[in-house]
Amino acid sequence: MTIFWHEMKKIWNPKVLSGIVLISLLFYQLFLSFHFENFPNGRPALDHYQISIELIEDFGPSLNESEYTQVQEWYSETIQEAKEYLRTNETANQLNISSYQSLQRELSNTERGTEEYKKVNQLYTEIYFEDEVNAFWKIQAYDNLMNDYDDKEALSEQTGIESNFESILPSVIYDNFQTLILYTGVLVLIAVVILLGRVHLPDQRKNMLPVQYVTKKGRSLFQGKLFASLVTTLVVTTTYLGAFFVLYSRNGIGMFLESSLYSFQLSRTVLFWYDLTFGQYIGITIAIIYGAALCGALSTLIFSRLASHYTALLGTLIPIATGMVLVLATFLLFRLFSMEYPLWTYWVGIILLPTSCLSFYLWRSRKESTVDII
């Protein structure tokens, strides 16, 4: 236990630690903050988000056919609202535009560049961007939503997935989450690698090994350092994920945790191998991040022991970290378990990554007891 604390103190070097804090803050500002501060990002994303929340409040995490008739009613009400607005709008009256549909029709049918087009376009800009008339944005969102809902049966036929796709989970939520979680995962990995890069190498550079390895616990120091490193990894990962979820909770997605990923809104763009709720999915990504952080820690430790100078250390860690980030960014975290890749890819990744890191580590660990210290 004493060794553990000694090693912890060395790992938590104030200079390196403040470096990591700074890097994290910058990383947050450059990559993450945007997706917190701009969620939902503009319209109609906001309308999708709001409508979905209303749906869940009224009907729970899924929307069945009878409940859907209610949605259709809301839709017609909104159409009416839009009509009301247009009735009092002069330009609209001039152009003879009296409904949402006729506005859209004029917009696509009028020839570009003409005076008339300019007027229609001006009206469009006025409604959508200057006055930000809710009804119009809402109708757009309802349109999308209802299209998706109507297509859901065809979807289960096409894909052969046995699901009614009635879950309410808009893609704005999922997309936002997966972008954030990927960057968070990458940041955790960076922090762990930087922090643990110095576990073994400085001792070697300072000629400490002959002092350490002749002591009673010397040959098991590798294990002692492993223990301290793993605890460090868990602490760092938990801190970062904790901070992440505190920030993420302010995105207001609590309502959707019960919703299944087999949602009519999401399944157009991404399909999943498993019928998970959004909450379960988040849980799995957390597990993946812990796993990736531990794998990163193990490989960093080994190379910290093997490298003879920092250039060699970085020279090996950069490809490894880049490789891991690529794996996370292509399938293991970003769009995890989506049908873009065959199911076995994910399981191979989930099994292969830890086993290879672990066996590499065990190989070195076994060697430690008989290695020559020159």
State the residues that interact with another protein by CB under 8 A.
Answer: 2-3, 6, 15-16, 19-20, 22-23, 26-27, 29-30, 194, 197-198, 203, 205-221, 309-312, 314-316, 318-319, 322, 369-370, 372-374
Whichever of 117 and 273 has its CB closer to another protein, that residue is: 117
Q: How far apart are CA 326 and CA 347, in angstroms?
A: 16
Q: How far apart are CA 157 and CA 36, in angstroms?
A: 37
- Side-chain-side CA neighbours of 334 within 13 Å: the count stands at 14
State both tokens at 293.
């952080």
Whichever of 97 and 191 has its CB closer to another protein, that residue is: 191
Q: What is the smallest separation between the CB atom of 233 and another protein, expressed in angstroms?
A: 18
Query: If you compute the radius of gyration of the chain from its CA atoms, what whole number of angstroms results?
Result: 28
Among the listed residues 228, 186, 222, 230, the one whose alpha carbon sits nearest the alpha carbon of residue 302: 222
State both tokens at 231.
């605890």
Q: How many CB atoms lie within 10 A of CB 254?
A: 10
Whichever of 6 and 366 has its CB closer to another protein, that residue is: 6
Q: What is the smallest separation between the CB atom of 32 and another protein, expressed in angstroms?
A: 12
Q: How far apart are CA 349 and CA 22, in angstroms?
A: 32
H-assigned helices in 110-213? 115-125, 134-159, 171-196, 201-205, 209-213
Whichever of 135 and 313 has its CB closer to another protein, that residue is: 313
Q: What is the smallest separation between the CB atom of 166 and another protein, expressed in angstroms?
A: 39
Q: What is the smallest separation between the CB atom of 22 and another protein, expressed in angstroms?
A: 5
Q: What is the smallest separation between the CB atom of 183 and another protein, expressed in angstroms?
A: 13
Q: What is the smallest separation between the CB atom of 309 and another protein, expressed in angstroms?
A: 6
- Which residues fall within 8 angstroms of residue 114, CB to CB, at 6 or more apart? none
- Name the DSSP letter for residue 332: I
Whichever of 13 and 159 has its CB closer to another protein, that residue is: 13
Whichever of 202 and 291 has its CB closer to another protein, that residue is: 202
